[in-house]
Amino acid sequence: MSYKFKVSEHHDGRRLDKVIRSLWPALPLGAFMKNIRKGLVRIDGRKAKCSTLLMEGQEIYVPWEEPPVRNDQATRKELESIYRDEYLWIVNKPAGLLSQPSVKGDDSVLSRSWADTSLLHKDFRPALVNRLDRNTSGMIILALNGSALRELQNALREGRIKKGYLALVCGEIPENGRINDPLLKDPADNIVRVDPGGRPALTLFRRVFSDGRFSLVELELVTGRSHQARVHLSHAGYPVLGDRKYGNETENRYWWKHGVKRPLLHAFELSFSGMAGNVGILSTTRFKAPLPEDMLLFFNGRSWGELGII
């Protein structure tokens, strides 16, 4: 049994091994490498290397069956849309929903997008450009096209996509500042801490409002380290309200009884500049996501809503 297919626009410029792994995710890596060594995987009739960069229109031959038909309908649930065109989709993720499945069958932004039949291509499924922790709400970008995915990834890496967050923190944070402390992650416990041996991490902040006990702060994560906002704010002495891992235990215990069940951190803004290709239309564009209900309840409970700060 064998299979031939043409490289589509989705995979133009991608490495052969990554394309094969995306089309046949269940194929054992050892089996793939063995077929490469034997010269049984071919590009336009010639022996191929794993690292070969593909071009649209090339013919790929593999000595196994065609990719399995994908069926993701069991996870069909709605996503709140902020913006969508044929190349990308910006969704407003609720707190509690994974960005991507950690095990097969998990409900997540990614699996919900795969279940949308209007987005199906035979050789490409929606892909995450950025991710949020399960309990962080706000905007996530999905690429709906291979070339758009590469441009968006490059733009994010080069700082042409800015991500703005809102956080409710304990204490009266300064009017503005920067937290520039390296972060080290312990994968065994999924704990991140400030450590000289960690990776560089920079967070910029601006106080929106404070009543002395709590502050609403706007954040820009210049780097995108795991748990960065929560760890940086806690290290600076202003932990995110509701953060049971890095937060203020006394405040968390009280507010848990009043509806604060997770860290009140929300990815509320995305801005784009210098975009090219299929997503060039986004240049100078800015999107904002509405605040989640738990943050609104906190504002209203402390009469912050009456101050016009949101």
Q: Concatenated DSSP letters for 177-245?
A: EEEE--EEEETTTTEEEE-TTSB--EEEEEEEEE-SSEEEEEEEESS--TTHHHHHHHHTT-PBTT-TT
pLDDT value for 282: 93
Closest CA to 79 of 10, 123, 126: 126
Active-site residue, 181 included: no
pLDDT value for 17: 87
pLDDT value for 220: 95
- What is the set of domains in the chain, with CATH numbers? 3-62 (3.10.290.10), 73-157 (3.30.2350.10), 161-307 (3.30.2350.10)
Residue 133 has which token pair? Answer: 């922790």
pLDDT value for 181: 96
pLDDT value for 184: 95
- Which is catalytic among the residues 133, 181, 243, 294? 133
pLDDT value for 72: 53
Instruction: Give the separation between CA 54 and CA 51, rounded to whole angstroms.
Output: 9
pLDDT means over runs of 10, the chain (310 residues): 80 83 79 87 88 86 77 68 94 94 81 78 83 94 92 93 96 97 89 94 96 96 92 97 94 90 96 92 94 91 72
Residue 71 has which token pair? Answer: 């069926």
Looking at residue 4, its amino acid is: K
CB atoms within 10 A of CB 97: 19
